[in-house]
Structure 1
């Protein structure tokens, strides 16, 4: 899809860092999309197409990632990324915005809503990992990841080989990422093909960014302060899960139980890439919330 960019593609953060962003669709307040990772880039082209007649969207690449300025040394903190998201909001002239975040992006969107609830009109939290400690989900995720990769023993062996390398070339890093992402698709016959599409074009994973933000998120999740903040979040939140996500969905129960205004939709035949695995079900869930 060729995006109709109604605004210049570059957002300038308050510290001067340039962020790639683009708006597509018609009139009205857009749905601002936060991609996962951390350390990746916007992969929402098919989601924007799926929602095209429901809402305009804003897509952006997070700091140091994708088409955003790469020659930056962070800081790799959720506070900094929340400030970057606020720069996106200001750039597109939004007094309040609707947010959709996927995976790590769900955590980022939630963090923004907690920091600036007066600037958010609603939140769609897709395939996140909740607000409990990582022990709620990570061991099962790692087991499920190896089981999925083990469906093709040669792929598992190659993934292990690449994962164990202290330094990978860009070519090897792309191969490692495609192997890992292939475990996320519920269409097992087309999993490798779908993962390859996510890596085309290949912008390179920002591993330094990824490690720092994951460590920070791990320290914050499970803390009383995060639970208390979520209990006070007076905003409508839609949680959308794929029941077959290799990250156990029970991890998100912690968030669902805590939020005061929440609706949850679990799509039984979808995995982590929920809108790809069940586009009709995902569209219905978002359309109901928009309506």
Structure 2
């Protein structure tokens, strides 16, 4: 894995990891506001050149004003700097939702979207109930975080999922989108299934026996799945 710095539209330097050779795929981590936990040679889709932009304000990327539109602009800044014409956009968790938004805003730059364990386009009123009933299954950990960044991104995301024309834009999109749900994810899979049905070139698949953070608990499943699905999109 080699590291480069890419200037955003406002001059903020963004850390980007690059590994592999072949067709290009940009890999988006979850959060929002997490360091790029997928930036690992062992987790990269095989047979592809993978780009790992670290979100601004975390890890090795500089900060500055940040919302969903800025996150999309940062991805596009990386593409331009890299000289990539079109790429597969692979996202995990919130990165899956960001991948969809990027594809809607820049469809001519996207070969396909591959979303793993994403949220889907809904505001899940049962989330708190499900979380509270299952939280005993996970250990408590302490993570430093920036409440201002989290609040801004959360508000931006809520605005995005309730954007009046987003369903229409998805229904009119010509971008191929594949959504992979983890069977044992705390999140329900039906929003992803509905999202795949809405997109004309949408596809849904469930990965059996794995949870939300399958890249950590079952890395071989992660690598096999993203290699297979991303590779299939390139061959279309």
Aligned match of 1:148: 137
CA contact (8 A) 1:267 1:278 kept: no
Larger radius of gyration: 1
Kindly indicate whether residue 116 of structure 2 is the aligned counterpart of residue 115 of structure 1: no
Could you tell me how far 1:222 is from its partner in structure 2? 4.4
Counterpart secondary structure, 1:260:
coil
**Structure 2 vs 1, CA of residues 209 and 141 (structure 1 numbering), >3 Å: closer, same or farther?**
farther
**Structure 2 vs 1, CA of residues 140 and 31 (structure 1 numbering), >3 Å: closer, same or farther?**
farther
Aligned match of 1:45: 39
Could you tell me how far 1:31 is from its partner in structure 2? 1.2
**Structure 2 vs 1, CA of residues 107 and 53 (structure 1 numbering), >3 Å: closer, same or farther?**
closer
| C-alpha distance in 2 between matches for 1:97 and 1:63 | 21
| C-alpha distance in 2 between matches for 1:34 and 1:206 | 20
Matched positions, count: 231
| C-alpha distance in 2 between matches for 1:141 and 1:54 | 38
| C-alpha distance in 2 between matches for 1:95 and 1:45 | 22
Could you tell me how far 1:253 is from its partner in structure 2? 2.8
CA contact (8 A) 1:17 1:69 kept: yes
Aligned match of 1:273: 213
| C-alpha distance in 2 between matches for 1:286 and 1:146 | 28
Counterpart secondary structure, 1:252:
helix
CA contact (8 A) 1:269 1:278 kept: no
Kindly indicate whether residue 7 of structure 2 is the aligned counterpart of residue 12 of structure 1: yes
CA RMSD across the alignment:
2.1
CA contact (8 A) 1:65 1:205 kept: no
Q: 2:26 aligns with which of 14, 32, 37?
A: 32
Counterpart secondary structure, 2:89:
strand
Could you tell me how far 1:52 is from its partner in structure 2? 5.4
Q: 2:62 aligns with which of 59, 69, 79?
A: 69
- 1:210-248 Cα deviation digits (max 9, x unpaired): 221112212332454121111111111111111101122
> More strand by proportion, 1 or 2?
2
**Structure 2 vs 1, CA of residues 288 and 41 (structure 1 numbering), >3 Å: closer, same or farther?**
same
After TM superposition, the score normalised by the length of structure 2 is 0.88
Aligned match of 1:97: 87
Kindly indicate whether residue 176 of structure 2 is the aligned counterpart of residue 176 of structure 1: no
Could you tell me how far 1:99 is from its partner in structure 2? 0.7
Runs of 4+, deviation exceeding 4 Å: none
> More helix by proportion, 1 or 2?
1
Could you tell me how far 1:43 is from its partner in structure 2? 0.5
| C-alpha distance in 1 between matches for 2:113 and 2:222 | 15
Farther off after superposition, 266-275 or 87-96:
266-275
Structure 2 portions without partners, runs of 5+: none
| C-alpha distance in 2 between matches for 1:238 and 1:15 | 32
